[in-house]
Chain A
């Protein structure tokens, strides 16, 4: 038993749904029409590509190719986070990629080697969707955390300098900001965990149920993935801040304003 396929004409009917929101936009003069169409086209193209690609990857089912695909996902996430934070790509891309890789691999490997133990252990069917879910969910939290951290030090420079003046090391002076950043980044995931199942039936669970598994199996997967997402987010935010710390401050401990992309921070 598995999810029944959707034929292309049937999917086309799905696109007809769009006429409703587009009609609303037209009626109320909401200027989102071209943006919506463009986004839907992008979504379609990207997913078609991924669907095609995953078919091939699942056929090969080679651990190295799986890993290479994770690396590609990390790089795309990396670029989108750095851009979302308004920070300079040159300074942040590499340390953030290291943080993302660690934040994805640690929970992923635990997932594979301890929780699910598929055979083969690095089965593409498990490796790629789980890595993708962890990464996709880290994305927004990482932007909130990393951006919040550097923006807060910039905006509340006086508080930061008070700590330096009192003799704090760089690590000691950034600690309160680190604490805030982690809070801001993780609080939404904590709230999601508290309401999950009641307010929304999460995507992975839906997928596993549609795939033909019984609901108890589905919730076990969902619990494991939530824990993996939460841990992955905590790892990436913390690591990303620590790894970018030394490059973002002058030797005197002052925040280097050049880390910000736009001129508004001068």
Chain B
């Protein structure tokens, strides 16, 4: 069976600076991998490469066995859900941030399910009243959880999280972690600079250990 995510000899230079090279990583279906490493080691960029947001200098990214190219990235994104570090929810109310993705053609077969959203609000210890608040007025921790809910509502099989719990208090962190680890159907690659702060149940991968040659 193919891996949900496979990264093969990936090399990335960013703004002329060498970030990482010959990086290899595989995440099996349903696995929950935490990727760690020092700040600036390219963890976030790795997630951005998978999403097609950052250019790769060499190597390949496979999502569900498919080699990601500029031609299929638009379809591949339909299998990935991504929560950026310090996410922005866009204009309008919080509910707009949740419903907006369902207006995109690729998500038309789905419909916004308010009940499912409310269940996630409860699971992540968020007050329902936030739905009626301007999305821009939410706190960092609230934005992170709303962005995670928006990603989960799209029912994508693979979830990419970039420091998704960095602004959360311990109780919320625990709630998010419990929910994610209980979802057997989800493949998760979560980036965390400090695994004592936030780590999922599966393997821990260290940026420095998954490269052939460490950057000098």
Contacts and interface: CB of A to CB of B under 8 A. Distances in A.
Interface string B125-166: 000000000000000000000010011001000000000000
Interface of B: 15, 51-53, 55, 70-71, 73-74, 77-78, 80-82, 84, 86-91, 100-101, 103-107, 147, 150-151, 154
Interface stretch (A70-78, A210-218, A251-259): A251-259
Given A162-B90, A167-B101, 11 more contacts: A158-B84, A161-B53, A164-B77, A165-B84, A166-B104, A166-B150, A167-B106, A168-B101, A176-B91, A251-B71, A251-B73
Nearest to B88: A158
Contact of A158 (B73, B87, B104): B87
Contacts of A250: 55, 70
A166 B53 contact: no
B74 A166 contact: no
A192 interface: no
Contacts of A161: 51, 53, 84
Contacts of A167: 74, 77-78, 101, 104, 106-107, 154
A172 interface: yes
B77 to A, nearest CB: 5
Contacts of A165: 51, 77, 80-82, 84, 151
A176 B103 CA distance: 13
Interface of A: 156, 158-159, 161-169, 172, 176, 250-254, 266
19 contacts: A158-B84, A159-B91, A161-B53, A162-B84, A162-B89, A162-B147, A163-B101, A165-B51, A165-B84, A167-B101, A168-B104, A169-B74, A251-B71, A252-B53, A252-B55, A252-B73, A253-B73, A253-B74, A254-B52
B88 A162 contact: yes
Contacts of B77: 164-165, 167
Contacts of A172: 103-105
A254 B70 CA distance: 11
A124 B106 CA distance: 52
Given A165-B81, A252-B73, A266 B104 contact: no
Contacts of A252: 52-53, 55, 70, 73
Contacts of B89: 159, 162
Given A161-B53, A251-B70, A169 B84 contact: no
Given A167-B77, A169-B105, A253 B52 contact: yes
Contacts of A254: 52-53
Nearest to B74: A169
